[in-house]
Chain A
Amino acid sequence: MTAILTAQTSPGHTRQHLLSVHDLSTDRIREILETAAQMHAVQRREVKKLPTLRGRTVVNLFFEDSTRTRSSFEIAGKWLSADVINISGKGSSTSKGESLRDTALTVAAMGVDALVIRHSASGAAQQVSQWVDAHIINAGDGTHEHPTQALLDAYTMQQRLGDLSGRHVAIVGDLTHSRVVRSNLICLGKLGARVTLVAPPTLMPSGIASWAASDGFELSHDLDAVLPTVDAVMMLRVQRERMSGGYFPTAREYTVGYGLTRPRLDALVAANPEAVICHPGPMNRGLEIGADAADAAQSLILDQVSAGVAVRMSVLYHLLAGEEGSAS
Chain B
Amino acid sequence: MSALLITGADLAGAGAQDLLVEDGVITEVGSVRTAKGADVLEADGLVALPGLVDLHTHLREPGREDAETIASGSAAAAVGGFTAVLAMANTSPVTDTAEAAERILDLGRAAGLVDVQPVGAVTKGLAGEELAELGLMHRSRARVSVFSDDGKCVHDARVMRRALEYVRAFGGVVSQHAQDPHLAGPTACCHEGELSGRLGLPGWPGIAEETIVARDVMLARHTGSRVHIAHVSTAGSVDVVRWAKAQGIDVTAEVTPHHLVLTTDLVSGYDPTFKVNPPLRPLEDVQALREALADGTIDAVATDHAPHARHDKEHAFVDAAFGMLGLETALAVVSDTMVRGGLLDWAGVARVMSVAPARIAGLADHGRPLATGSPASLTLVDPSAEVTVDRSASLSLSRNNPWHGRTLRGAVHATVLRGRVTALKGAIS
Contacts and interface: CB of A to CB of B under 8 A. Distances in A.
Contacts of B200: 122-123, 141-145, 179, 182, 205
B378 to A, nearest CB: 33
Contacts of B265: 1
Interface string B193-233: 11111111101010000000000000000000000000000
Contacts of A123: 199-201, 270, 316-317
- Name B's interface SS: loop
Contacts of B405: 3-4, 7
Given A8-B404, A206-B194, A208-B197, A126 B269 contact: yes
Contacts of B273: 8
A168 interface: no
B271 A8 contact: yes
B428 to A, nearest CB: 26
Given A99-B311, A126-B270, A142-B200, A206 B205 contact: yes
Contacts of A210: 194
Contacts of A205: 196-198, 200
Contact of B320 (A95, A141, A211): A95
A84 interface: no
Interface in A1-18: 1-5, 7-9
Interface string A13-46: 0000000000000000000000000000000000
B318 interface: yes
Contacts of B198: 182, 205, 207, 211
Nearest to B192: A206
A127 B270 contact: yes
B318 A142 contact: yes
A127 B320 CA distance: 12
Contacts of B194: 206-208, 210-211
B267 to A, nearest CB: 9
A159 B286 CA distance: 49
A122 B188 CA distance: 12
B319 A95 contact: yes
Interface string B284-321: 00000000000000000000000000011011111111
A145 B312 CA distance: 24
Interface string A194-214: 000000000001111011000
B424 interface: no
A101 interface: yes
A119 interface: yes
Contacts of A142: 200-201, 316, 318
A92 B266 CA distance: 24
Contacts of A328: none
B319 A94 contact: yes
Nearest to B269: A5
A215 to B, nearest CB: 9
Contact of B316 (A1, A7, A121, A145): A121
A292 B46 CA distance: 80
A102 interface: yes
Contacts of A93: 319
Contacts of A121: 315-319
B315 A206 contact: no
Nearest to A143: B200
A316 B404 CA distance: 37
Contacts of B199: 122-123, 144
Nearest to B311: A99
Interface string B334-355: 0000000000000000000000
A101 B310 CA distance: 10
Interface of A: 1-5, 7-9, 92-95, 99-102, 119, 121-124, 126-127, 141-145, 179, 182, 205-208, 210-211
**Interchain residue pairs A-B with the least CB separation, the first 8:** A207-B194, A123-B270, A121-B316, A205-B197, A144-B200, A143-B200, A101-B314, A122-B200
